[in-house]
Every structure is written in structure tokens, then in C-alpha cells.
Structure 1
């Protein structure tokens, strides 16, 4: 690929996410407006960074999870690049934010996550010993769905 072609190419969703500012114990969430936001740790959940995703980038993110008609309808025709107002990007409604937990709730969630991760790693190791191609089975880039986000009139 030439330099000119490379500069014209739209970055992938993964490339955009890797460039976003993050903080320890923070998280990311895409709002219904098509904007991916990184949030600080609990309880405040302050927005640290926000990037509007194109319909293709939104689709790429959604295709990594099981298909849902509700999700397809929610993101149909959404283009996060149209959200340019600083207030809309950095002060989204609560529905676009991750849950706000108390310190105790957050500690419990961390324990639950650590337990699930340990169980997953044990299952992966067992499957590997049984000859399962775990790299393919658990690859983040495997496509699980095929969302159609085009506006309803374009079908």
C-alpha cells in the first residue's frame, strides 16, 4: 500500500481505540450516538477521551459480539463522527456511561472478574491439552455477527 493510499484509508476501530487516552481501572463504552468514550475509574466515571466512529467502525465493533435485532436497530444509520460538540462528547447522558459503583461494589466486581478470568484461563488450558485450536476459538478478531446498519430505506 502506498503512502497516499495509507493516508486515505479509514483507521480501524481497533486502531482508534488503541490511540485513546485511558487511566488505570478505567473502561470504554460506545454510546448510542456512535461515540466511543474512555472513562476514569469509579465512582465518578469522568470522560477522558471521546472519538466518533463511522458506521463501518461501529459495525466492526458490533460484529465481534452475538447478533441482536435490538442492537442493530439502535445503531442503524448512526455516525458518531457527526457528534462534534465538546459538551456532547465529554458530558454524555448517564445512559451512555458505565455504571457508577461504590468502592465496595467495585472491589466485588474486580473479584468477580478475576474469578471469571481464572476460570476462563483454566478452561483454555484444558481445551489446549485436548487439542482444541484455542487461538482460533478465542481470537478477538473472529466475526460472530453481521450487522446491517444501513438506513431502513436503503435496503
Structure 2
């Protein structure tokens, strides 16, 4: 999914877009002003796979426990409650982002060229945690990452 979104103008040209997984289980590509450009509903399996790439956080596990983005009405994918979205970038942050993008544009273009011609050798997926996102049952107090 991320590879298919990598060339979107808000990420590549403007350098200020972000990916965000809302508390509703929807992966969104957001502009600097937090308008939704692309939205993908994550099943519990895909949500867990995305979260397992990050270090474990009990707060994160609690936030996404029992969430299934595929059950969210499609209209809400693109027009969620504003509380779900991160704050828009400040003007100062936008200026800093543009500056970083300009400083690194040559490296970015070289990487995309290598990806396109098949010579880029990225690292594989690194699993850093093992979230338990299943529904809570009575007496089910989380104790860190789920056992394998």
C-alpha cells in the first residue's frame, strides 16, 4: 500500500503530507492542512501488521484494540471527525519542511530512480512488537506485547 502511494504530490513534491492511521482503523494520506487525499480501510490483520512495525506502546494497543477499519462507512474515510486527525502544520513547520525537501531533493530523486529501475536494495520489514488487538475479555488486562 505504501509503495503505491509514494509518488503522491503531497508527499513527493510538497514534502508535507503524512500517513496517519486514525483511531477508526483508516490509513489516510493527509496534506499539511490535514485534508484527506487517500484513505484505505485496514482490516484488523493489516492494522496489526502496520502497528507491529513500531515499538510497543500500551496506549497504542488500547487505542486500536477491537478496531476494524473495514466497518467504517466510506464517507467517513474522507470526512472523519476532526478529533481523529492530527493538527495541521503551522506555517513555521511548512517553511522548515520545504527547506528540508529542497536540501534533500537530489537524494530523493536518486532513490526513486533506483526504485523504478529495480536497483534499490531496501531492508526488509522489521517487526518490532506483537500487538494484541483482539477484543478484550473479562480479566484480560494487557501485560505488554502478546506472546507468540
State the TM-score bracket (shorter-chain normalisation). 0.5 to 0.7
1:146 deviation in Å? 0.6
Residue 114 of structure 2 corresponds to which residue in structure 1? none
Q: Is 1:39–1:49's contact at 8 Å kept on the other side of the alignment?
A: yes
Q: Which residue of 1 aligns with 2:89?
A: 101
Structure 1 unaligned regions, length at least 5: 1-15, 118-134
Take 1:59 and 1:114, find their aligned partners in 2: how far apart are those partners?
35
Deviation of residue 28 (structure 1)? 1.2
* Structure with greater helix percent: 1
1:50 alignment partner, SS class: strand
Task: Choose which of 41, 51, 61 in structure 1 pairs with 2:50.
Answer: 61
- SS of corresponding position for 1:153: coil
Shift of the 106–140 alpha-carbon distance from structure 1 to 2, 3 Å rule, reads farther
| Aligned pairs, number | 117
Q: TM-score w.r.t. structure 1 length?
A: 0.63
TM-score relative to the length of structure 2: 0.65
Q: Structure 2: which 5+ runs fail to align?
A: 105-120, 141-148
Q: What does residue range 58-137 of structure 1 map to in structure 2 within 5 Å?
A: 58-86=47-75, 88-109=76-97
